[in-house]
Structure 1
Amino acid sequence: MEAPLTLIKKARVYAPDPLGEKDVLLCRDQILAIGEDLSFHGTVPLVREVDARGLMMFPGLIDQHVHMAGGGGEGGFHYRTPEISLSHITTAGVTTLVGVLGTDGITRHTRELLAKANGLALEGVTTYIYCGAYQVPTRTITGTPRGDIVMVDKVIGVGEIAISDSRSSHPSEQELAELASEARVGGLLAGKAGVLHLHVGDDDAGLSVLFHLLRRTELPREMFTPTHLNRNPDLLQHAIRYGKEGGFVDVTSGIRPDAHDHVSVKPSQAIRRLLDAGVHPRLITMSSDSNGSSPIFDDRGRLVAMGIGSIATLWEETRDAIVQEEVPVDVAVSMVTRNVARVLKLGHKGRIREGLAADLILTNDRFEIRHVFAKGRQMVEDGKPVVFGTFENVHRVPGSPDIKGAAGTVNPERGRLMMAAGEDHPDDFPEAAERKRKSRRHYCC
């Protein structure tokens, strides 16, 4: 029987504001108490104690852009990216994630995304989704975005709708206004965020359509969350302007310079530039774009390389913002916790406080993730996953964490893996596990 109480002793707590050394008591999925020296007297059954001396505690990360059911497809069916696994999520320090569809709104559907979100929730993390895909009119379950937000518990907004991208349906300003109104009213009726989550591509227009839309309508700026804003320096300048005007700006941790990408701005450096330009820290967020495809096109629009995003980059770039760019710890951590909770109106997430969700990560002084708690349950211990998804085989499933690198460190094998278009990539499925026959059985598939 799992202990209903967990007492974490002597951690340096960032809530994300620094609280100093504290004990934190978890009761199932909530934080029950925070104090200088919490202890039990007499016989208290089923209490698990975790020694956190020398470790820092942060709220569990909230990733608002994850292709949890897979994505991609640019380049052909063999470039469809795989679903994400539970231990891949937890070893990255993520305890809450929002699922999205992307380019492919044909072979993938919001229903499929909802099913995956429900599965991950049963396995131990908190999940939400956006209805929709790149295209306008967009993909829904009930027939309208407003209906999805009101009638489907996990749907908290619309996204990712593509603008300024050759793969988008090039929505007009009026079409975006109508879609934003659907999200806005749906959110009001259901008591949800009702955000419009916008994929912003490489086109020179950048955020121009959003600037025009906000000048023409009374739609609140805080309901729009444009993302991928570090994909090139010109777009980052648009993001600076948008942020200084009071809009939320989302940096993508999975978009960073590599052998194929010579134009993107490293996420930690993009955060530093936004802050130096005067964007208020509470308006800056970061998400991973995990398990989405990362196609690289040449000037003629031809595919030259394809990658897949990694959720591990979210904490890697947060750490780099702290260590390399000298962003204060509480400010950097807020961008992947408290700020995201504010955008998504998740009042019980993103902070360490009595009565809020028992989602926590503990790191060492090098900001390497050592322990992760999601809904009060320990998912990662000493840097290794201890809870796995239903069908996970941690030693063989591609993308799952293994012993090659500690969680929270830069690991190129888990990063934005790139492969040249046209190269042969044989299937790499795990071999069937040996089965012990205890009785006569028949297997059907």
Structure 2
Amino acid sequence: MTDTLSELQARDLVALSTDEQALRDALGAGPVNFYIGFDPTAPSLHMGNLVQLLFARRLQLAGHNPFALVGGATGLIGDPRMSGERTLNERDVVEGWVERIRGQIERFLDFDGAHAAQVVNNLDWTGGLSAIDFLRDVGKHFSVNRMLAKETVSARLNSEHGISFTEFSYQILQAHDFLQLYRRHGITLQHGGSDQWGNLTAGTDLVRRVERVAVHAMATPLITKADGTKFGKTESGTVWLDPELTSPYAFSQFWLNADDRDVVKYLKVFSLRPLEELEAIAEEFQAAPHRRLAQRVLAEDVTTLVHGEQQTAQAFAAAEALFGSGELAALEPGTLASVTAELPIAEFPESVLSDGLPVVDALVDSGLVTSKGAARRAIKEGGAYVNNCKVTSEDQALTAQDVLDAGRAGVVVLRRGKKTLGAARFTR
């Protein structure tokens, strides 16, 4: 077995753990059964969940046995947030999200071979548990004083929102999961984000109290951005793993736009390449940051992991075409539709093309310029483009021949200067 813990530490993936030497010995002694939990509080996993999925994959590649828990029970309640009570989702909605998330998890772990992964649902052991049995057999092991000390609970108690008994009880349910997984599958390690540390240690304490054995917990650091904005968020919102919610193009652009101050850190967390190779990439990047090698490697690696090689190739081809290094007409209609959906866009009925739509109007309506005068200046200065072709006349108009196939609608890609993009979409 490799020294798994040292590898994780070298990638800055361990913020907290229970007894480090005992954990190192356990990981070095042979296969460890471990788990990570995901609550279906949305129809898709997101960038924060990706940290844990790849953490689990690293442990599996090191010879350990992963269990992915999808919280059909805890998803009905939701882990307390600093901002206030969650809206409780209907049971059938949560059940649908359980299946969607199960499918996403299955793309990251190997479900065959000696260390085959398994997906479990905590509703299987919680759904039939009576309130009396839960309070007698599980609740009696928890000190309310200690539960109140949890950061999120303490913050909520001192806020105008307060906290319901439902969300207050969440940490008991998560701890109960660890106990059940220890009994059912011999699981002795749970990992999660450092914001979950109170819940993780509640589980290790419960197993110790009930079963008289020591089990382990590990927490990854919260990923941060150098500019102070929240990791995994863009101007348009959360970066999801579901391509219907965040297109492969937008997903790859998130990584390509990584700040120079962050990108080497992200490579260690999100790329499966050996550390020695990442160090060489980092050296080359630091010698010539303008080439953005680290960002390109990061975007290619992570987009391929999440969306596959074909979608990654299409996303990169779309980026090249948008900025004038590729052929827009060669893009698949679905790719073109998802790419232009990320741009400032003006909507028009297809009928306007019969008489021609002035490019000046399209530039204004798409938000690329603030006025027709500014549009004319951009054209006069050679800085306006239609489908990567320079606009040479202030009177130029868009016609049906300019429209590219984007599935249910046709589009024209507009550009001002080298990097400012927009689009006109024509309803059929």
State the TM-score, normalized to the length of structure 1.
0.29
Asked which structure has the greater CA Rg, the reply is: 2
State the TM-score, normalized to the length of structure 2.
0.29
RCO greater where, 1 or 2, for CA within 8 Å and sep 6 or more? 1
Whose helix fraction is larger, Structure 1's or Structure 2's? 2
Whose strand fraction is larger, Structure 1's or Structure 2's? 1
